[in-house]
Amino acid sequence: MDPAYSKNVVDYRSLGNMPGYEWKLLRYKCRELRLEGVYHRHCHLVSVALVTQLIIVIEILMLIHVILLFSVVKNIDFLTVLPYFAVMLLTPSILMPSREPNVEQYESIAILVSCLMALLLTAMDLILPICYFRPFSLVPSYDHVVIVLIYLMFPIAFVKNGRAYFLGLAVSLFYFGYMALIDKISTLDKVWELTAYGAYLFFLNMLCMFLSRFQEYNMRSGILSRYQVVYQNLVFQMAMKEEKALLDSIIPVTLARSLQDAIASHIEEDPSNLMPFTKTRHLFMEPHPEVSILEADMVDFTGLTTTMEVSDLVAILHELFVSFDLAANHNRATRIKFLGDSYTCVTGIPSYFPTHANACVNQALDMIEISREVSKRRNKKIDLRIGVHSGEILAGIIGLTKWQFDIWSKDVDITNRLESSGLPGMVHISSRTLGLLDNHYVYEEGTDTAKLDPLLQRSNLSTYLIRSRLPNFEDTDDLEDDNFSLNDYRFSFSFSQDYEDIQVKAQRDMILEVEHMPVNRVQTCKIRRPMHRIAKEDINEEYRFHLESYYLFTTFRSWRMEWSFNKMRDLLMKYSLGMMVFAGATIIAMDLLVKSEAMDYTMLFSLFLLILLPLLLASYKKLWLRGRRLSPITQPTFFLSRWFIKASDLIEKSVFVRIPLAIMVLFLLYVMSSETVPGSSWRL
pLDDT of residue 365: 93
| Beta strands 404-408 and 427-430, pairing class | unpaired
Point out which residues pair with 463 in neighbouring strands. 430
pLDDT of residue 403: 73
pLDDT of residue 593: 77
Largest distance between two CA atoms of the chain: 130
pLDDT of residue 632: 55
- Count the Cβ atoms, other than its own, within 10 Å of residue 247: 17
pLDDT of residue 188: 63
Regarding pTM above 0.75, the answer is no
pLDDT of residue 149: 94
Measured CA to CA, the distance from residue 359 to residue 570 in angstroms comes to: 66
Question: Within a 13 Å sphere around the CA of 321, how many CA atoms are in the beta-carbon half?
Answer: 20
Q: Strand runs (DSSP E) across 270-383, as ranges?
A: 284-298, 333-339, 342-347
Do the beta carbons of residue 433 and residue 394 sit within 8 Å? no
Alpha-carbon distance values, 268 to 262, 263, 645 (Å): 10, 9, 45
Query: Which secondary-structure segment (H or E) carries 222?
Result: helix 188-250
Least Cα distance to 129 among 118, 144, 119, 140 occurs for: 140
The DSSP annotation for 496-539 comes to HHHHHHHHHHHHHHHHHHGGGS--SSS-HHHHHS-GGG--HHHH
pLDDT of residue 17: 61
Domains of the chain in start order, with CATH, are 283-492 (3.30.70.1230), 569-684 (no CATH)
Alpha-carbon distance values, 579 to 361, 603, 647 (Å): 82, 21, 20
Side chain identity at residue 245, one-letter code: A
Residue 680 DSSP one-character state? G
Mean pLDDT per segment of 10 residues, for the chain of length 684 residues? 41 61 83 88 89 92 91 81 92 90 83 94 85 62 92 90 88 89 65 84 92 89 88 86 74 72 69 54 78 91 81 87 90 86 89 91 93 88 91 83 82 93 92 90 89 90 89 54 42 51 84 79 43 50 68 75 81 88 87 70 87 88 70 67 83 86 91 63 39
> CB under 8 Å to 530, separation ≥6 — which residues?
none
pLDDT of residue 120: 94
pLDDT of residue 30: 87
pLDDT of residue 531: 43
Least Cα distance to 506 among 158, 236, 257 occurs for: 236
Least Cα distance to 254 among 224, 301, 212, 286 occurs for: 286
> Can you give 229-246 as a three-state secondary structure string?
HHHHHHHHHHHHHHHHHH
Do the beta carbons of residue 289 and residue 391 sit within 8 Å? no
Alpha-carbon distance values, 109 to 26, 49, 148, 528, 542 (Å): 28, 15, 20, 17, 29
The DSSP annotation for 54-79 comes to HHHHHHHHHHHHHHHHHHHSTT--HH
Least Cα distance to 128 among 139, 144, 116 occurs for: 139
Do the beta carbons of residue 28 and residue 10 sit within 8 Å? no
For residues 218, 222, 224 and 229, what is the CA-based torsion angle, rounded to 10 degrees? Answer: 160
Dihedral sign (CA 519, 520, 523, 524): negative
For residues 40, 41, 45 and 47, what is the CA-based torsion angle, rounded to 10 degrees? Answer: 30
pLDDT of residue 677: 47
pLDDT of residue 386: 94
Query: Which secondary-structure segment (H or E) carries 40?
Result: helix 36-72
pLDDT of residue 150: 94
